[in-house]
């Protein structure tokens, strides 16, 4: 009697938004500025996926507390929420979709602040749990969750 074995291989296809030139530039600028000023206090990471209570989310940039790294054991989806999640809108995304991701995804799962970067109007919207959003179009973005301060002129130069 012949028996056959069946092997089931689970495959995941992830369709990601295409990164535009402005999106890529702002991801690099924000990461560089944060890293230069706050490397000793925080981990500034790009494109790290988080396994949160509201699902899998991947901000463009995340601010995390200092972590101890184990270079022999990596983590694919980080289980704890970042302190701050930063999203940069690209031409293929809707603002409504990103606001929902921030409010219903990040903030609902314990992220302490989120930024929505709007390249076309050179502005950043700051979101904090339970508070109205704050549009910052000039001067300095001040995030009370981290104490981070970021000059918009440096971001959008």
> How many distinct helices (H) and strands (E) make up the chain?
3, 11
CA distance 87 to 105: 12
What Rg do the C-alpha atoms of the chain give, in angstroms? 18
> What tokens does 117 get?
């970067």
Strand partners for 65: 42
Q: Residue 19: what pLDDT?
A: 78
Q: Does the reported pTM lie above 0.85? A: yes
The tens digit of pLDDT for each residue in 33-86 reads 999 999 999 999 999 999 999 999 999 999 999 998 899 999 999 999 999 999
Q: The domain spanning residue 136 has which CATH number?
A: 3.90.1570.10
Phi and psi at residue 107, to the nearest 5°: -65, -35
The tens digit of pLDDT for each residue in 23-47 reads 999 999 999 999 999 999 999 999 9
Domain that holds residue 47: 21-155
Angle at CA of residue 154, ends 39 and 16, nearest 5°: 75
In the chain, how many domains are there? 1
């Amino acid at each position: 009697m012949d028996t056959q074995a069946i092997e089931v291989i689970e495959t995941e296809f992830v369709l990601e938004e295409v990164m535009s030139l402005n999106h890529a530039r702002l991801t690099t600028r924000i990461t560089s500025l944060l890293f230069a000023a706050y490397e000793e206090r925080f981990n500034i990471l790009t494109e790290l996926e988080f396994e949160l209570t509201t699902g899998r989310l991947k901000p463009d940039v995340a601010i995390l507390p200092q972590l101890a790294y184990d270079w022999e054991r990596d983590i694919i989806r980080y289980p704890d929420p970042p302190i701050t999640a930063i999203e940069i809108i690209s031409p293929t995304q809707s603002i409504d979709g990103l606001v929902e991701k921030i409010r219903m995804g990040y903030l609902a799962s314990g992220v302490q602040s989120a930024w929505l970067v709007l390249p076309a109007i050179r502005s950043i919207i700051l979101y904090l749990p339970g508070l109205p959003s704050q549009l910052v179009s000039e001067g300095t973005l001040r995030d009370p969750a981290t104490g981070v301060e970021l000059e918009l002129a440096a971001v959008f130069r």
